[in-house]
Amino acid sequence: MTQVRPMRADARRNYERLLEVAARAFAEHGENASLDDIAKRAGVGSGTLYRHFPNRQALLEAAYVDRIEAIAARADELARDLPPGGALTAWLEELCVWTIQVRGLKALLGSAVTDGSAAAVTVCGTSLKGAAARLAEAAQREGTLRADLEPLELLRLAHGVATASELADGQQAGQGAHIRRYLSLLLEGLRA
């Protein structure tokens, strides 16, 4: 049995500083923010960054895991307060808005909706897929969502709605002005 050693205090500080700086950099520059610049702004070398985060995706996920968990928890809140079809619609709308407004989140959602191979399984993807599954299954039981729709397909479609809205918004990028209309059109086609 392999034991995981706890992180040394200095390594823990570096890790937390990298996450803090990365979250700011992704918010400013999106998912393609310079990793070398993130390391430099955090006061560490690139080797330290890559020791903690082997690739951009790992850093992006670590920087946004709290937000992803909040989105997943929001699904459960909506499910308690609204009928299943309404909870699903409200959650998809919030997910799409967050996907546009929080730079870098679209890349995480994109990763969560890939083919489902073991390499694509992430903590963020697992949380989002679980939330989508709970809401979709409830709406299917209620009869407001097609029975043959998979939760992963629903997330892929939400990613598409966010992208389409972003394209339609043009100069107002990040506003999500078209999300409600596009979701309405999509969900009409997904009704049971």
Range 84-95 average pLDDT: 96
Q: What percentage of the chain reaches a pLDDT higher than 90? A: 43
Note down the domain range covering 158.
64-190
* 175-181, long-range: CB < 8 A, 24+ apart: 175/100, 176/96, 176/97, 176/100, 176/101, 179/93, 179/96, 179/97, 179/100, 180/93
- Residue 91 shares a structural domain with residue 178: yes
Domains identified in the chain, total number: 2
**Which segment of 6-10, 29-33, 127-131, 135-139 scores lowest on mean pLDDT?**
6-10
Average pLDDT of the chain is 85
- Residue 121 shares a structural domain with residue 46: no
Tens digits of residue pLDDT in 40-69: 999 999 999 999 999 888 898 888 888 889
First CA to last CA distance, the chain:
50
Tens digits of residue pLDDT in 93-130: 999 888 888 777 777 777 766 755 544 457 777 888 99
- Residue 137 shares a structural domain with residue 82: yes
CATH of residue 41's domain is: 1.10.10.60
- Residue 79 shares a structural domain with residue 123: yes
d(CA 158, CA 186): 9
Looking at per-residue pLDDT, the higher value among 166 and 16 belongs to 16
Token pair belonging to 81: 């307060």
Q: What percentage of the chain reaches a pLDDT higher than 70? A: 87
Range 133-162 average pLDDT: 93
- C-alpha dihedral, 82 to 83 to 84 to 88, nearest 10°: -40
Range 67-94 average pLDDT: 95
Specify the pLDDT at position 121: 55
What sign results for the dihedral spanned by CA atoms 177, 179, 180, 181?
positive
- Residue 84 shares a structural domain with residue 116: yes
Specify the pLDDT at position 118: 45
Token pair belonging to 123: 């903590």
- Position 59 in a domain: no
